[in-house]
Amino acid sequence: MGLLEGKVAIITGAGGGLGEAYAKLFAKEGAAVVVNDLGATRDGAASDASAAAQRVVDEIVAAGGRAVANGDDVSTVQGGENILKTALDAFGQVDILICNAGILRDKSFAKMTEQDWDLVVKVHLKGTFNCTLPVWKWLRDNGRPGVIILTSSTSGLYGNFGQANYGAAKGGIYSLMRVLSIEGRKNNIRVMGLAPGALTRMTADLGFAENPLRLPENIAPAVLYMASDLAADHSGKILSVSSQGVAEVKMVQTEGFRPDKPYTAEELASRAEEVFFAD
C-alpha cells in the first residue's frame, strides 16, 4: 500500500521538471493527481496550455496510475477555482495541494521593469494565494484534514543577485506559509514550505554540472514525505532540499541588546556585537 493511497493531490506547474517528478511519484504511491500546467515558457510567455500536462497524465495512466490534466492559469482567481473544480469533478475530493508553478524574469534591480516585477509576483505569490484559498475553504467546509505545501526558494530566504522580483515573491510565500500553519491548526490543515534546488528548465542556464542528485527525482521523495502521514507532526516548517541534502531552514534572532532605560544610537553601536550575529 502506497504512502498516499486514497488521497487526491493537486500539483501546479506539473507539466515538467519538479512538478512532473512529484506527480509521477505521488501517483506511484497511490494518489490520484491533478496535473496542472499552463504550458508557458520559462518567462511566462503563452504556449500550449494542454500538451505538457496531458503528456504527464498519459505517462501516469500508462504506468497504472490515476491522473487528469488541467491547463488553467494559477495567476488568476478563476484559474485557482477551476483547478479545484477539476479535482472535485474527476475524483470527488482533494487532500493535498502542492503550489509549484513559477516563472523567471531575472534582471538586476536597476534594469527591472514594472512588468518584470508584476508578472513574477503575480504567478508566484498571487498564484499561491489563488490556488490555496479555494482548497483551504473546501477542506475547512468539509471538515477534512489536508496538507498544503508552498514552494519558496533560497532566493527568497537568503537573497540572490538579479532576482529581486523572484526573491520578494518567494519570501512572501514563506511568510504566507507561516501564517497559514497557525490558522490551519483548528481545521487540521498542515502547511509546510519547500526551498528546492534542482536542474530544471528554470535553472538550465546556471551551469550546474551533471549530477543525479540535482535531478527533480531527487527532490520528490522529500515532498512525498512532507505530504504523507510520515510528517504528520510537522507544520509551519520549511525544508531546503537539494543535492546538498535535506535541512530545515529557520528564522532566528540573537540574544540582543536589552536596555533597561532609554538609550542612544551611540550606546547601541557600542553593543553591536550583542545585536548582530558574527559574520
Cβ–Cβ under 8 Å, residues 19 and 39: no
Please name the residue that has the C-alpha cell 498571487. 126
Measured between alpha carbons, how far is 50 from 37 in angstroms, rounded to an integer? 7
Q: Under 8 Å CB-to-CB from 100, ≥6 apart: which residues?
A: 11, 12, 13, 14, 18, 19, 22, 151
Cβ–Cβ under 8 Å, residues 85 and 133: no
Q: Under 8 Å CB-to-CB from 118, ≥6 apart: which residues?
A: none
Query: Which residue out of 22, 166, 174, 263 is catalytically annotated?
Result: 166
- In 3-state terms, what secondary structure has residue 167? helix
Angstrom distances, CA of residue 80 to CA of 42, 89, 136, 170, 206: 20, 14, 11, 19, 31
The C-alpha cell that represents 183 in the structure block: 490558522
Active site residue 166: yes
Measured between alpha carbons, how far is 90 from 19 in angstroms, rounded to an integer? 20
Cβ–Cβ under 8 Å, residues 12 and 103: no
Please name the residue that has the C-alpha cell 534594469. 111
Residue type, 172: G
Q: List, in sequence order, every residue forming a beta bridge with 68; answer none if it has no partner.
A: 34
The C-alpha cell that represents 82 in the structure block: 477551476
Catalytic residues: 166
